[in-house]
Every structure is written in C-alpha cells, then in structure tokens.
Amino acid sequence: MTDAMNLTPAPPPSGPPLIKDSSTAEFITDVVEASKEVPVIVDLWAPWCGPCKTLSPIIEKVITDAQGAVRLVKINVDDNQELAAQLRVQSIPAVYAFKGGEPVDGFVGALPESQIKDFVKKIVGDLGPSPAEDLVQEAVVVYKSGDLGAAIGIFAMALKSEPGNVGAIAGLAECYIAGGDLDLATQTLALVSPEHASDPVILAAHAELTLRQQSAETGGDGKSSAEVTDLEAAVQANPKDQQIRYDLASAYVADGRREDAVEALLDMIAMDRKWDDDAARKQLVTLFDAFGPTDELTQSGRRRLSSLLFS
C-alpha cells in the first residue's frame, strides 16, 4: 500500500494543455484538428452567466481527473459571437464534444458532476478512478486494518481533493462512529448533497449511526453475554411480550449477532406486524441499510420480510 502521507502529485501530461481558452480564429486548430488526436470538450460561456460559473469548475475538475484522456477548450461567447452563431448556440452554458474532427454530442445548462462524468465517459470510455476515489479505496483498506487515525487522515485528504465525494463522507463518518464520536459523525453526514442522500454508502453510514445512537440511549455500545442470556430467558418466559423481544433484538445488534437480530425482528413481525407503529419493520430496514444491499443477510431478510408483509 502507498503511504498516504507521502503521496506526490502526478507529473503534468506532456503536449498541449488539458484546459485552455480559445477563440474563433483558433477554433479549427484547438478543437477540430486537436480532436483528431484526443477528444475535446468545448465549454461556451460568458462572464455574466450564473450557471456558467457553476458548471465551469465542475467540468474543469472532471477533465483534470481524466489525466489527458480528454481536453477542455473554453470559449467566451461575448468575445466570439460569430463562432457562437456558427455553432447555433441559443443559450449558455452550452457544451459540445468533438471527436475525430466532428461534433458528436452536447448539452445545454448546468449539470451535476455525476452527469458530467457520464457525458465524458460516453466520449472517451471508462475514465478510471479519480485521485479522490483512489484515496477512498486506500482509506478503506486502512480502516479495515483497524488504524482509525490513519484512515481518518486519508478520508479527509480525499474529501479535500473532491468536496462532496460520497465515499469519503461515508468513510469518514464510519470512522467517527467506530471511534465513538457520534456528534462528529452526524456533522460529517450533513455534508452530503441532496442528490447523493440515497446513495447506498450514505444510507449505510446513516443506518450505522442510528444503531449506535440507539445503543447509547439504552446504556452502552454492547451487551454482555449474561445480559443477552437474561433477555433470551425473559422471552422464553414471556413469549408474547413484544417489548422484551425488541430489547433482545437490540441486544443482539449491540453484540454483533446480526443473524439473531434479524431473526428476532422477523419473529416479532410474524406475531404482530403493527406493534408499536411498525417498530420491528423499521428496525429491520435500518439493519438492511447498515448491512448494504448486496449483503446476503440483507437479501434473504428482505425476501422473508416481503413474504410476511404480503402473505
């Protein structure tokens, strides 16, 4: 593994610059001819255009992260009105992609980074991970090794490199949760933009935070084997008491017994699915979010839950 604290920037690519300003006189050379060697994205903008100010830095970042696979040419339409007319630009920001000397795609208006990445990928193929994504992957490995401090540092580097990166936000929050700083985890998750709020890694971090907060409210982050055994005995003695069953499921969660927790909650739903305003079902959904959509227990548990709810 690369030592994150000794990372050095990659050398700039040789040849023409990745991002440059151009004009009507230079358009054929900078765009048409250049696109015969490498795809060129053209960003048509104006100083007075608010959406242009939002879009331009995002495009520049995506182009920079592509590390030479595509270039960006910026055209100020106020200074190049003849060219804008030739390109039939009716509103800005307007973006065109040139490849092989011809325009091949385009869009109008400001788009989020994820859609701009998709646009560029259609032109040049898979861009591979960005520098921030590389850091996130490294931080995950460090986190799994148990070195929370180092993982926090690398996730923070990734977030500085790409503010809003969902992997970095979720990973940083997970580190704080693991370290017991639930307030800082909450503040970190608040950095997520609305468009990424439903990303699986964000949902998983939120769910894990919820479970830890629940555990803290009931007296700690874990239960002793004796306490779990006592609750199991209480369920045996009072099998119809849903609150005891719910407490046992929570104890299983705190003790890391995932399968037992899911089983206990499913048993509750089978007995009385509406108990305490669907508390068991809601807790199951939280667990599934924490486990992640591809987890075998999530998949099997969701199938069993659907069977109970729609039988």
Instruction: Enumerate the active-site residues.
Output: 49, 52
C-beta of residue 112 within 8 angstroms of C-beta of residue 60: no
Whose CA is closest to 120, among 51, 166, 68? 68
141-150: Cβ within 8 A, 24+ apart: 141/1, 142/1, 142/4, 143/171, 143/174, 143/175, 143/178, 148/175, 148/178, 148/179, 150/4
Token digits for 235?
């369920």
Residue 60 in tokens: 């520049």
CA distance 43 to 57: 11
Amino acid sitting at position 184:
L
With contact defined as beta carbons under 8 Å apart, do 24 and 78 qualify?
A: no
